[in-house]
Amino acid sequence: NAGVTQTPKFRVLKTGQSMTLLCAQDMNHEYMYWYRQDPGMGLRLIHYSVGEGTTAKGEVPDGYNVSRLKKQNFLLGLESAAPSQTSVYFCASSWDRNQPQHFGDGTRLSIL
Amino acid sequence: DAKTTQPTSMDCAEGRAANLPCNHSTISGNEYVYWYRQIHSQGPQYIIHGLKNNETNEMASLIITEDRKSSTLILPHATLRDTAVYYCIVRVYPNTGNQFYFGTGTSLTVIP
């Protein structure tokens, strides 16, 4: 039982490049979330999903897209990376909106 | 306005109880209070959550005031491994949907 797995763990991009971050969970959770964390700040919600095929915007959705084609996977895409998107990205999942969220170990993304 | 208010930092002597306060005066009547912690460079770890009653598990105790406007996380016998940033979280909606507001947390340092 791996819990929540994020890939890759590290990545460096050039401005304007695109990439996709993958989050996979093996707990059969319905809800999945993408957060970003910047120095000196808490986690801010980017997008979330309440089930397979659904997505919704969080607090800071601009510049990101997401997809939940399979229940166990939640993908975060950057179509045209910008230096302001340099951050640590965390994925989480939960049974429902009131149950605790389980987090992955993060993806450290630098955009030059 | 802040959704939660926590001290920026606290120290605690090893072996003593650590009491971490949180104010959440805008919490809705049916929303839970959650506590997470984040050890440097790792994903947040769930500690405990509660609605109205006090809660206890193997990690900590959660004391919620009767008016639910504040709570205290208690680590009964702090160890060096409890040094982390502790987040008090409440849900924020309906404008932003299923969102947990993490805030900036309390940086707890356990001193030998």
pLDDT tens column, A63-98: 999 999 999 999 999 999 999 999 999 999 999 877
| pLDDT classification of B92: cutoffs 50, 70, 90 | low
- B100, B102, B106, B107: which to substitute to probe chain A, counting the most A Cβ within 10 Å? B100
CB contact under 8 A, B42 and A105: yes
Q: What is the CA radius of gyration of chain A?
A: 13
Chain A CA closest to residue B105: A42
Residue B87's nearest CA partner among A29, A31, A94, A101 is A101
Give CA B91 to chain center in angstroms. 13
Residue B106's nearest CA partner among B8, B12, B22 is B8
Total number of residues shown for chain B? 112
The DSSP output letter for A29 is: -
The DSSP output letter for B5 is: B
Set of chain B residues whose Cβ sits within 8 Å of the Cβ of A105? 42-43
Set of chain A residues whose Cβ sits within 8 Å of the Cβ of B96? 45, 58-59
